[in-house]
Structure 1
Amino acid sequence: MTTVLIVDDQPLQRLGFRMLLESTPDTEVVGEAGHGAEAVRKAAELSPDVVLMDVRMPGMDGIEATRRIVATGGRSRVLVLTTFDLDEYAYTALRAGASGFLLKDALPEELLAGIRAVAGGDAVIAPGLTRRLLDAYAHHLPGRPPGEELPDDPRLRSLTEREREILVAIGQGWTNGEIAERLVLSESTVKTHIGRVLAKIGARDRVQAVIFAYDLGLARPIGPG
């Protein structure tokens, strides 16, 4: 059973999500919140598997609420709802620690699949779209000039040569199939490597691994075209 906390400032929107989730046998709504501060408090109190988080709310918005929920180190994962896929709110939410995002007009089955995926530890966002988001908002990143030596990060040092290759590939937005093909590995081996990389760098999911690779200069903006 996947437990869900619904966060949205619109009561009718919360009701719609609740009706959908309660009609599904493997999901349970454990609470609702109408703003970010309430979401942070209820996430700590209820420890849901997934926090379904609206972004635009009065007072504390969904971005700050996501940041605070993730910072506690608890079990709850955040799935953000946004209006546009290449949206600065989505970008900021990912950097705040969200495990992915869905569009508000997603089909019911897409929403349910997204909640299940996030609860299972996966990221709900296409690998390439993570890169497109980061590329689109690269001006927000500290950046590292080409040719500059990479930082001496102990997490990076902990990776084997193969694991570092895998991290760079994740940062490029490659899917597991593309990594397997280009590095001549089986997909099951790729999944094993990715699991080890995530554990060693302390990333909650693949999205956070892309951000880590980007911040260290292992991945760079693709640029126009």
Structure 2
Amino acid sequence: MQPLQRSARLQQAMEITETPPVLFPSPGLSTSRKRQRKRCSSSAAPPPESPSPDVGSLFASSDDEDDNFLPKDPRYEASREIFQARSREFPDLLRPKRKPITARFISVAATERYKALKHRNFVTQQSISLTEERLSDVKKVVVDAGLIYTVINSDSFQPTVVREFVANLLDVDERDDGDDVYVRGSLVDFSPSLINSMYYIRGFEEDPNWLDENIDQVFALLADNRIKCWENMS
């Protein structure tokens, strides 16, 4: 079965029966896009593949009991095992093509970016409760969209390492699927496939015309057809 294109998913969303509106927090929309918005109307040997569960069974119903959601520890451990297996079988994939200027930064430009980042605070990942009744409508929307694992089981993080990662991000080594980013002596995989496998996100084909989509239809998809206009999200 071929994964759905984004445009196909949007078309399906517009066919959903209308339900009463519900308020959502503002997503902080950017106004940088210049396109008019419609108002309210490096080849390398591939690393070992990670085993993935039957994605369809993960999102069969938003009424599933909470303990039907898969725990994070097994997928984190699987990701670590894949990284270790790749480092053993393909050690060259961990080595940057150019010599880093320090153990923390790949380039002089990366050090300058870090200086600009080190005093900035993070907007930390938010999560939703699976048991709080007043969030049941929100939970249903997120589960039906296949994104529930992005808002549960959030972990703590090391701010310094994250800032170093972001600083090195513009000096990536491009691979067939995503990029390799320099982090403290090694290259680490930063790719859509890795992110999707970690959060059990259903695959889809990239639509080359996704920028031409009607922004109102995008928000209708994200809001389970409860909001018809992007301006109502603010």
**Same-fold call, TM > 0.5?**
no
Relative contact order (C-alpha < 8 Å, sep 6+): which is higher?
Answer: 2
TM-score by length of 2: 0.24
TM-score by length of 1: 0.25
Structure with a larger share of its residues in strand: 1
Structure with a larger share of its residues in helix: 1
Could you say which structure has the larger radius of gyration?
2
